[in-house]
């Protein structure tokens, strides 16, 4: 079950048109990923601008992605919230919709203790039968799931099967792998450290830049999984400038801008997300040009 969640899993953008979710474009993007070797799709994550989706929109996006995928690759629905009851509702909906798993972010703003984090994730996990991946990102939530807490969750909740680690700390990721064992899925939450994580036992990435270069991100992760680190390094260094450019401003501003430059979607955000500065847009275009994505 858990070994399906490896390789290149895209943190899918949510396309908008005239202030509404562009459902036709969303289906088109899903097909693009299936055809280009992406190993899984995360709708309604950070990159999908989930904080500005209404609950009805959130649920509809998950439904559309599941319907369009038709079981060809896993769909790991973002279902986290700072309210445990709300996270349970979204996770139960994802299960009913047919999602393969749920990605549940740390409760944000209310800053729970480690015991509160443990009880939150366990309550969500126990409300469903599908696998749960913890999304550990202190930079956006103000709290870190400490390794001891992750170990408790892996031991006590049968369907908490892994973590998207966006701490940026290979030291912490090493601790998690050592504590939770090789069967516990550890995925990078940062494209620029995917390969270093995989070199110490990680399983892949939930990727931002796979939105625009899915074949290369999949190629790098598959090479690493196969033990071909020479090929993986080549792709890592090809992807590295793009991975850095994706965070010239707050995600998902740069990746949506890049996709618009490449003709993949109409550029539209929801406030408080807004277009890039002219200076950063010029930097992004130069990097995309170097990659051959724009002229």
Nearest by Cα to 123 from 151, 77, 156: 156
Query: Which of these is catalytic: 59, 108, 118, 164?
Result: 164
Contacts of 238 (CB under 8 A, 6+ apart): 216, 291
- CA gap 172, 194 in Å, rounded: 14
- Exposed/middle/buried for 230, CB within 10 Å: 0-12, 13-18, 19+? exposed
**CA atoms of 216 and 96, how far apart (whole Å):** 33
Distance between CA 75 and CA 91 in Å, rounded?
Answer: 13
Sheet of strand 7-11: strand arrangement: 40-42, 7-11, 204-207, 185-188, 160-165, 132-136, 101-105, 76-78
Residue of 135, 237, 256, 283 with catalytic role = 135
Q: Does the annotation mark 237 as catalytic?
A: no
The verdict on whether 269 is a catalytic residue reads no
Instruction: Say if CB 9 and CB 76 are below 8 A apart.
Output: yes
- Please tell me the distance from the alpha carbon of residue 243 to that of residue 226, in angstroms, as a whole number: 22
Q: What are phi and psi of 188, to 5 degrees?
A: -75, 140
**DSSP class of 270:** -
Who contacts 108 (Cβ-Cβ below 8 Å, separation ≥6)? 82, 140, 141, 142, 143
Which positions are catalytic? Answer: 135, 164
């Amino acid at each position: 079950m858990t070994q399906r969640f490896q390789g290149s899993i895209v943190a899918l953008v949510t396309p908008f048109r005239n202030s509404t979710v562009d459902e036709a474009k969303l289906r088109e993007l899903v097909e693009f990923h299936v055809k280009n070797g992406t190993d899984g799709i995360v709708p309604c994550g950070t990159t999908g601008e989930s904080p500005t989706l209404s609950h009805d929109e959130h649920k509809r996006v998950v439904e559309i992605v599941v319907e369009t995928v038709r079981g060809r690759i896993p769909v790991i629905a973002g279902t986290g919230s700072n309210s445990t009851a709300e996270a349970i509702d979204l996770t139960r909906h994802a299960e009913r919709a047919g999602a393969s798993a749920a990605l549940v972010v740390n409760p944000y703003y209310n800053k729970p203790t480690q015991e509160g984090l443990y009880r939150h994730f366990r309550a969500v996990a126990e409300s469903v039968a599908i696998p749960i991946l913890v999304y550990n990102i202190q930079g956006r939530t103000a709290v870190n799931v400490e390794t001891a807490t992750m170990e408790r969750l892996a031991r006590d909740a049968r369907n908490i099967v892994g973590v998207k680690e966006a701490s940026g700390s290979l030291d912490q990721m090493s601790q998690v792998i050592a504590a939770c064992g090789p069967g516990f899925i550890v995925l990078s939450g940062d494209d620029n450290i995917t390969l270093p994580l995989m070199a110490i036992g990680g399983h892949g990435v939930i990727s931002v830049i796979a939105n625009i270069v899915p074949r290369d991100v999949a190629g790098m992760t598959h090479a690493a999984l196969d033990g071909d680190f020479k090929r993986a390094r080549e792709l890592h260094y090809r992807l590295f400038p793009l991975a850095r450019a994706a965070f010239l401003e707050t995600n998902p501003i740069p990746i949506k801008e890049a996709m618009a430059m490449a003709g993949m979607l109409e550029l539209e955000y929801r406030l408080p997300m807004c277009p890039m500065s002219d200076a950063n847009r010029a930097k992004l275009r130069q990097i995309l040009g170097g990659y051959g994505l724009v002229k």
